[in-house]
Structure 1
Amino acid sequence: MRNILPLKIITAALIIMIFWLGVNLLKLDDRKKELASEISGLESKASDIEKTNRALELYIANLNNPGFLDKEARIKLNYKSIGEQVVFFYEDKNKETIASKSEEGDYSFWQKIKNIFKRD
């Protein structure tokens, strides 16, 4: 009986330790997955920053080009060189209404009938 009691205590302690280790391993696995997703997110941000950096380097390199500066001044500052004419194109907002009127015409019903039988 003396030998059985310490054996039961040791077995219970081992079972508790194995359970505790299993729980900690599961927590570590979850943490590993979180870190992996965080790393992938940071890598994508780093690649986006590198792309932006390359684009800015190209923009800075083009600042020494007079043609590029002229183009940017025209687009962003509405710059016009000496002797140039400025032309504006406005989109016609009444385009559909004009087209529908031209198809129907401003004729009354009898005028439309008359135009059907009219000789050209």
Structure 2
Amino acid sequence: MQFQAELYNFFKGTVNKLLFNRRQIANRIAKSRKTDYIPKEVNQKKVQKISTMFSSIILTIGFTNTPFWLTQSLASLCRKPRLLSSLHQILESVSIISHSISHERKLEAVRMSISNP
């Protein structure tokens, strides 16, 4: 149990630092464009989700005989086609998938309107 907490804290610190640096750069650029800009903070919920995902993947790879809830649930979501939207939401929440479903539908509509039947 101690190893899991240390692994989670390692990923939490790493992800937090990366997102903080990215947010600092974005705030600096936005501040240079606007005079009355309010700087944004790092979303801690996003840090928690990404850290949990990384920890679960590493623990699953390291301890193949031990089932971990996150990877087991992702595997079951992959096997059931009717739950693909739930899988998409999970992967989007941890920033593995960058586009949303609505964005994909808009792109599909544009491609259909451009094509010549």
TM-score range, shorter chain: under 0.3
Q: What TM-score comes out, normalization by structure 2 length?
A: 0.25
If you compute each CA radius of gyration, which structure gives the higher value, 1 or 2? 1
Higher RCO structure, 1 or 2 (CA under 8 Å, sep 6+)? 2
Q: What TM-score comes out, normalization by structure 1 length?
A: 0.24
